[in-house]
Amino acid sequence: MGTEHVLTVNCAESPGIVHAITGYLLEHDCDIIDTKHFGDRQAQQFFMRVHFAAGKKDFSTEDLRRDFEPLADEWAMNWQLEPDGRKRRVLVMVSKFGHCLNDLLFRARTGDLPVDIVAVVSNHTDHEELVKWHGIPFFHLPVTKETKPAQEARLLELVDEFDVELVVLARYMQVLSDELSAKLTGKTINIHHSFLPSFKGAKPYHQAYDRGVKTVGATAHYVNAELDEGPIIAQQVIDVDHTYTAEDLVRVGRDAECKALSNAVRWHCEGRVMLDGGRTVILR
């Protein structure tokens, strides 16, 4: 088999879409390795992800995109066609808690995630040495009420400078402005340390302790202008009981946070996540 690619498609639900896409692949001598699709009957939206390999003709990525464009226009598709395994350029933001950052750095370094972490931004310097040990540029951008507009402007400069495709808030404990959230819509993932929609805002583990919960969780979601309200991508839970203190919940919750965030980053970068209004469709 030749070069492998991944095609993702979202458009209005209509008969014949799968036939049109698979027909295009057949015409280009491509072999389907894996395909997933979903039709949202309520929203009348269709979602599809196809992992395929080129045949003897082995068309280039540019050729495949050019030839698919008329079909995409015909069906009014939102689509992407990328080489399989292409690493996305990621900027990570972090504050003082470093477990999610450390997990992402390890997974990126070992090839477990299809990402290239091109920069790390923090409002503290706690993790500067760790980041530099990994050979990644570290930017200290402290935040106060007075400096926040300038800090966010600098962040956007870094996003452009490093051609960033995804921003990951790995326990970054600052609320992004509505303006910044709007500019980064669909390309920013946050990890919240509770099983949303429960226990939004500050100190969710302490909120959970006060309610005597029997599971604690973590939620990775896209960022929007509403605090902890963005479309959910991945969640993890851990069983607890009455013997756990609030500090114990914080401790055991770290594993859930790391797993939920790494899953969300992986699925996003593999083209498995598609927005469906205020929800997501995950084609795994």
Q: How far apart are CA 232 and CA 182, in angstroms?
A: 17
Q: Are 242 and 222 in contact (CB under 8 A)?
A: no
Q: How far apart are CA 201 and CA 159, in angstroms?
A: 26
Q: How far apart are CA 119 and CA 141, in angstroms?
A: 12
228 a catalytic residue: yes
Q: How far apart are CA 180 and CA 183, in angstroms?
A: 5
User: For residue 106, which phi and psi values (nearest 5 degrees)?
Assistant: -65, -45
Sheet containing 115-122: order of strands: 138-140, 115-122, 88-94, 166-169, 188-192, 215-222, 232-239
Compute the radius of gyration of the chain from its Cα atoms.
Answer: 21
Determine the angle formed by the axes of helices 246-269 and 99-109, rounding to 10 degrees.
Answer: 30
The residue among 147, 224, 146, 145 whose CA lies nearest residue 180 is 224
Q: What is the 3-state secondary structure (H, E, C) of 141-174?
A: CCCCCCCHHHHHHHHHHHHHHCCCCEEEECCCCC
Active site residue: 116, 228, 248, 276, which one?
228
Which sequence positions are flagged as catalytic?
Answer: 228
